Amino acid sequence: MQQRPATHTRTEVVRANDWVLKLSKAWLAVQLTTYGGKYSIERILALDKYIQQTPLYRAVLVCIAVPTTLILLVFGQESIPLQDPYEGWSSNYGFWVRVCLLGAAVGYAAATYVGYMIDGAALPRRQLALFTVGVAMSYTAVNIAVAAWLVFPIPFQAFSTNVFIMFILIGLYRVVVGGSVFREVFARRGELLAFKNFVLVQISMLLAYPAFQILFGLVTNTRWEVPVLMILPIMKLVMKNLMVRTIRHREDMIPEEVIFIVDFFDALYLATCMQNASSTTSVIGVVCHHLIQSAVELRELRRKTRSTFVRLHKEISRSSASDNSAERKTVECARLLHDVAEVLFTSECLVLTEFLETVIPILYGNYVLLMVHLPSAQYHTEMAYVTKENVAGMVQGIFVYGFLEWLSCTIVAVIMYRDCGIRALHQLAFVIETQIHLVQAKLVLYVMITLTYRVVHFGTSQHELGGSGLFAIFSL
């Protein structure tokens, strides 16, 4: 058999490597971690000060506080008993309490977002409390009025009555801040437009992810299960890029804002799909994708860090030599600072993603284990066909996925510290502490939405919406 020339083989290898390199560059170009974002000088100094002054135990407690808060929130909400919806609106006091809590979450999140994204729009604590309570009461009153005058459960309540929420939010904001401040805020057209686009991206997510869950439910136990599951990474990539475009003017907020919204939804709906997945192949496929993505992003982080270290050592060597040009030093220091800012931005994105991909599936698995023992489980569409006898088998895939993500998170943190000198745990705690109001607002809001709208009292059913709460749409 005639052998191919060695030169020809080498040429093919070179071409293959070129294609891999081009694909890798194209893939990295659309990733949040490598799109070119960077820390501000103020944020770099704040992170350095935080690391120097914060002991390890405090950083651990801060990181634990996030899942603990979610556990308390879910447990508190599900402790509120639900009544049979066919007993009428006046007998379902438990449902109206939940609606009121949801309204409060919407009000608090809306005020928090507006305050961070529009200059001069932030509410003091007293006004924030008044606004939140006002939104909760008004939202509940509107829903009760519709239920009393028309029908209960209200068909597609999550959609049909939430058209009023924008009027409630704007009207109450006008009452709380007064006319002069209200006019000043609405005069900021550019920031308002960016905020509107930011909200629209979130609304599109509230449509897209439940729709995906319906699609996955249709292909469960078929050969299309794994291919459909691979749509999730594409959705996440698209949503992240859309959201980044809306908050470029707040670059220090980008990692926390984008990841705590998009990756939260992705991790939660992925865990929900794992609950119904028919084989371990789905779990393995998802984990392999996440491992490959983390490995590529970590490799890019190491490359940036090493490049920065090399340039820093060269600059130190030049400083000790005769070349003392002030202009050259200024330019080189500016480049080094830019590189450091990019490295820290990339590391924050990587740390936050690993954190959410670990915490959310573990919390969701425990949520299912808890819910199956509560009387209100019969009204939750995601608990359909889940019993005390089969719950262990249904959450097995979720916990396997969560454990593998935890292992991945640990490995990433160790490698980041060993090769890049970055303390992942401290950086995670830094983000949570310095942006605690945004973190709380997002997680509370979206936990309330994704779990509350899966209750049949909202005019949906397992048959109609596949347990997804497809019309869980509202405007912040």
Output the CA–CA distances (angstroms, integers) from residue 361 to 10, 185, 237, 255, 365, in the order listed. 45, 40, 20, 21, 6
Q: What sections of 56-164 are H helices per DSSP?
A: 56-78, 93-117, 125-149, 157-160
What's at 368, amino acid-wise?
A: V
Sign of CA dihedral 240, 243, 244, 245: positive
> Which pLDDT value is given to residue 260?
92
Is pLDDT at 462 greater than 90 in this prediction? no
Structure tokens at 369: 């284990």
Sign of CA dihedral 269, 271, 272, 277: positive
Is pLDDT at 166 greater than 60 in this prediction? yes
- Please, which residues have CB within 8 angstroms of residue 176's CB and are 6 or more apart in sequence? 123, 127, 130, 131, 134
Mean pLDDT estimate for the chain: 82
Residue 64 C-beta-side C-alpha neighbours within 13 Å:
6
Structure tokens at 454: 């899966």
> Which pLDDT value is given to residue 318?
60
**8 A C-beta contact, residue 254 and residue 292:** no
> Which pLDDT value is given to residue 467?
38
**8 A C-beta contact, residue 277 and residue 283:** yes
Structure tokens at 312: 């820093």
Q: What is the mean pLDDT of residues 429-436?
A: 94
More confident residue, 292 or 80: 80
Structure tokens at 337: 């600072």
**Which DSSP symbol is given to 420?**
I
Q: Please give the span between the terminal C-alpha atoms of the chain, in angstroms, as a whole number.
A: 70
Structure tokens at 261: 């919204």
Give the residue carrying structure tokens 């909200």.
199
What's at 7, amino acid-wise?
A: T
Q: In this predicted model, what pLDDT tens digit does every residue of 257-286 receive, in sequence order?
A: 999 999 999 999 888 888 777 666 777 777
Say how far apart CA 450 and CA 385 lie, in whole Å: 19
Q: What percent of the chain has pLDDT over 90?
A: 29
Q: Where are the domains of the chain?
A: 36-55+250-255+279-434, 80-200+444-476
Question: What is the SS3 assignment for 152?
Answer: coil
Q: In this predicted model, what pLDDT tens digit does every residue of 333-373 receive, in sequence order?
A: 777 777 888 888 989 999 999 999 999 999 999 999 989 98
Is pLDDT at 243 greater than 80 in this prediction? yes
Q: How many CB atoms lie within 10 A of CB 170?
A: 14
Q: What is the pTM of this model?
A: 0.84
User: Where is average pLDDT lowest: 186-195, 327-336, 340-349?
Assistant: 327-336
